[in-house]
Amino acid sequence: MLVQKYVDMLSQKSVIRTLSEFATARGKEIGYENVFDYTLGNPSVPVPDSVNETMIQLLRTKSSMEVHGYSPSLGITSVREKIAASLNKRFDMNYTADHIFMASGAAGALAHAFRLVTQPGDEVITFAPFFPEYHPYVDLTGAVLKVVPANVEDFQINFEAFTEMINEKTMAVLINTPNNPSGVVYSSKTLERLAQILTDKSKEYGHIIYLISDEPYREIVFTGVESPYVSKYYANTISCYSFSKSLSLPGERIGYVAVNPACEDAKKMVVMCGQISRGIGHNCPASLSQLAVAENLDVTADISVYETNKNLLYRELKELGFTCVEPGGTFYIFPKALEEDAKVFCEKALKYDLVLVPADSFGCPGYFRMSYCIDTEKVERSLEAIRKFVKENY
Amino acid sequence: MLVQKYVDMLSQKSVIRTLSEFATARGKEIGYENVFDYTLGNPSVPVPDSVNETMIQLLRTKSSMEVHGYSPSLGITSVREKIAASLNKRFDMNYTADHIFMASGAAGALAHAFRLVTQPGDEVITFAPFFPEYHPYVDLTGAVLKVVPANVEDFQINFEAFTEMINEKTMAVLINTPNNPSGVVYSSKTLERLAQILTDKSKEYGHIIYLISDEPYREIVFTGVESPYVSKYYANTISCYSFSKSLSLPGERIGYVAVNPACEDAKKMVVMCGQISRGIGHNCPASLSQLAVAENLDVTADISVYETNKNLLYRELKELGFTCVEPGGTFYIFPKALEEDAKVFCEKALKYDLVLVPADSFGCPGYFRMSYCIDTEKVERSLEAIRKFVKENY
């Protein structure tokens, strides 16, 4: 018998994917360049040339065993060393290779983090608006994801609702800053307050509440915005990183878990990740990708495009009267719809070939997300469509 | 609190890994070329040049999005189509892309297969001798792995013990042919009899018993040996393949699940795999690797080395009086130790810098495994050490 919970999931089609498929289909009718597809977080800027050149160099000069051989189960040691050194230099931390576990993207990293510290029935708290995949990521482990309602003022944390929700079953708190979908970066003040609550509640409940920090957008921060390194604020932090966005190589599936050295049993947690892998069929990222990113830790793809796009969209949306918090990073913007039901709003936008994503599944009804990791030229052309849509409907 | 089951696993160190570490340490003392390290199944022959050339070509000529962009969650469609066509041609099957799910090696493929058809408490039956990782692979899903004792005559299936063990809780049977560690290939007769029992018992219990076929050694078959394609014998077969061994690229983590088109709900099972991935942080293999193997489905690394090595070892072991079934494929040989306790036997061999793996963890006490995916020159030099070891001790 096929396992019913997965059969059931087949009928719950992701809104993002449905809209993305609509955009592709519409593109076949009128030319994809004429569809203003703001659905997917698929980086549009190319991978830095140095990454491709490193890969070619590895393929040309290294032995087959070095490039294509098994990676040790925690990752290639030299790669883990380089990542630790890079984090230490940038964020004044004191990681060693023993605190780093190589994972297949942030999804792989999170899969290990949840299994390290939660058992079926335990609770993980996250904050709206949030990446909808957190639900299957957590719920399919047997733990339960609980969502704190959004602080729509500035999309920092709604601490009042959080302190009401946290309880003895809370084993981990999951944050994502810079945030998908709001684009907001959590401030030092937010992180300090969060850390204080976690410290107090850990003591009160007699068990550590871990902070799981999902950081795929860490490098995509706009001019003048301070983006604090989460792990500096709370010792029991498990950072989950992906190179997908910063290096524009989401298809290579490479990231890592970095456990704060001040976390109790930090090194043990990393070797435990190697055991967790055995149960979920996970293996290290491709050796070739590991070796290639290790030589490119100080570069990023040309992510300045995202800031240009953000400026264009933010200015236009504000001029049109949208309520919208200015993104501090990522390639998302998260305005309030011009009518109560964002699904209806986004449905109407489709007539203008504007493909926007209603935010109900992000835990924030009434809002919508635009992923502007697309060409600036297309963003510019879309502004007229946005103006027309708003003027004719609101 | 850290999850205890993973903490507990840390103390159960793999015998293979411990011995492999011994070999490496000993190599530092006397030169690794003087250690006859028969521990690991890490392919020694290089990847075919055409794979590296395809990768370089892709990196040089394709857009960043094509090479490094997100793969669809079931795998790149063109890659799945090519794999289906190749299987159809070679094994006279009728797969389409809809029957293929790209996975990160056989471990990733098996992780999906178990979750498709078993729930916690269900039983999966496998046959000794077996790959010890099957225990964490199955047990950590919540299902239970049960092991049928070996048929030591020829390492085909012990059907008597199997029919005693199968019961209403059996949801899947897991086989591995060509087999790690015995090197034996299951015959048509074995597969026919197995299929008949599964058909009869499925009817008797009122639910399908799936056959999960782990096939990383499918291409490594020696002269004159017939290696039947498992899925042809039983409709409800889920084949789990890896390119690790055939193309010598275990570090790239690429393989697939192929569901027999005649399996009830075959296509649904493939899309279910995409849902299972969301819960285990699995994503598709690297896009670059997917595209590269798709152009190299008809080539293998120079696996003839393994047959040369097998011939040398088999002849020598038989001459020395070992009980040993001749391997039909893989790069393993599985002789009976010359004393009852294979651990003691292997311990004594270490004095001759012969690193052999006792087979207790393979479910076959009294035997040992040699992985001969090493240079032929080293195999030749090891023969003298084997002779000396046997003569001085037995």
CB B335 within 8 A of CB B348: no
Model confidence at A127: pLDDT above 90: yes
In three state form, how does the secondary structure of A18-84 look? HHHHHHHHHHHHHCHHHCEECCCCCCCCCCCHHHHHHHHHHHHHCCHHHHHCCCCCCCCHHHHHHHH
The pLDDT tens digits of the residues spanning B314-357 come to 999 999 999 999 999 999 999 999 999 999 999 999 999 999 99
Q: From the CA of B373, how many Å to the nearest CA of chain A?
A: 12
Asked whether the beta carbons of residue B288 and residue A283 sit closer than 8 angstroms, the reply is no
- In the stretch 223-242 of chain B, residues with CB closer than 8 A to chain A read none
- Span B36-92, pLDDT tens digits: 999 988 888 999 999 999 999 999 999 999 999 988 899 999 999 999 999 999 999
pLDDT bin (cut points 50, 70, 90) of residue A85 is: very high
Quote the CA–CA distance of A98 and A368 in Å, as a whole number: 41
What pLDDT is recorded for position B70?
Answer: 86
Helix (H) or strand (E) holding B389: helix B376-393
Q: Are B122 and B129 in contact (CB under 8 A)?
A: no
Q: Is B105 in CB contact (< 8 Å) with chain A?
A: yes
Q: What is the DSSP-derived secondary structure letter of residue B244?
A: T
Give Cα separations from A316 to A24, A335, A339 (angstroms): 25, 11, 18
A118–B contact, CB cutoff 8 A = yes
Best mutation site among B37, B76, B253, B263 for testing chain A: the one with the most A CBs within 10 Å? B253
Which of B10, B39, B65 to mutate to probe the A interface, most A CBs <10 Å? B65
Separation CA B2–CA B16 (nearest Å): 27
CB-based contact A289:B26 (threshold 8 Å): no
Q: Is the dihedral of CA A115, A120, A122, A127 positive or negative?
A: positive
Share of chain A above pLDDT 90, in %: 94
pLDDT digits (tens, 9 = 90+) for B176-185: 999 999 999 9
Per-residue pLDDT, B41: 86
Distance from CA of B382 to the nearest CA of A (A): 22
CA B207, B133, B219, B228: dihedral to nearest 10 degrees? Answer: -30
B240 and B101 Cβ atoms separated by less than 8 Å: no
Record: contact A59-B60, CB cut-off 8 A: no
Quote the DSSP letter at residue B177: S
Q: What confidence category does residue A201 fall into, taking pLDDT thresholds of 50, 70 and 90?
A: very high
Reported as a pLDDT band with limits 50, 70 and 90, residue A359 is: very high
Residue A351 has pLDDT above 80, yes or no: yes
**What CA–CA distances, in Å, run from A132 to A136, A251, B153?**
8, 20, 55
Question: Which of chain B's residues have a Cβ under 8 Å away from the Cβ of A116?
Answer: 2-3, 6
What pTM does this model have? 0.96
A284 touches chain B (CB under 8 A): yes
Residue pairs between chains A and B whose CB atoms are closer than 8 Å: 227
Give the nearest partner residue to A278 out of B68, B140, B278, using CB atoms: B140
CB-based burial, A26-46: b 16+ in 10 Å, e otherwise: bbeeeeeeebbbbbbbbbbbb
Say which of A10, A60, A253 has its CB closest to residue B271: A10
Q: What is the pLDDT of residue B306?
A: 97
Contact between A281 and B103 using a beta-carbon 8 Å cutoff: yes
Closest residue to A137, CB basis, from B281, B286, B289: B281
Other CB atoms within a 10 A radius of the CB of residue B60 amount to 10
Output the pLDDT for position B284.
85
Mean pLDDT of the residues in chain A: 96
Instruction: Output phi, psi for A228, to 5 deg.
Output: -65, 150
Distance from CA of B9 to the nearest CA of A (A): 7
Task: Say how far apart CA B301 and CA B45 lie, in whole Å.
Answer: 7
Q: Look at A275 and B6 and tell me if their CB atoms are within 8 Å.
A: yes
Where is A146: in which H helix or E strand? strand A144-148
- Is pLDDT above 90 for B295? yes
Task: Identify from B52, B64, B214 which residue to disrupt to test chain A contact, counting A C-beta atoms within 10 A and taking the largest count.
Answer: B64
Q: What is the pLDDT of residue A84?
A: 98
Across A167-187, average pLDDT = 98
* pLDDT of amino acid B111: 97
B63 inside 8 A of chain A by CB: yes
- Partner A contacted by B13 (CB < 8 A): no
**Yes or no, beta carbons of A116 and B6 under 8 Å apart:** yes
Calpha distance A194→A110 (Å, rounded)? 20
Phi and psi, residue B277, nearest 5°: -55, -40
**In B68-122, which ranges are E strands?**
100-103
Rg of chain A in Å (alpha carbons): 21
- Give the separation between CA B102 and CA B73, rounded to whole angstroms: 9
Binned at pLDDT 50, 70 and 90, residue A17 comes out as confident
On whether the CB atoms of residues B253 and B303 are closer than 8 A, the answer is no
Residues in chain B: 394
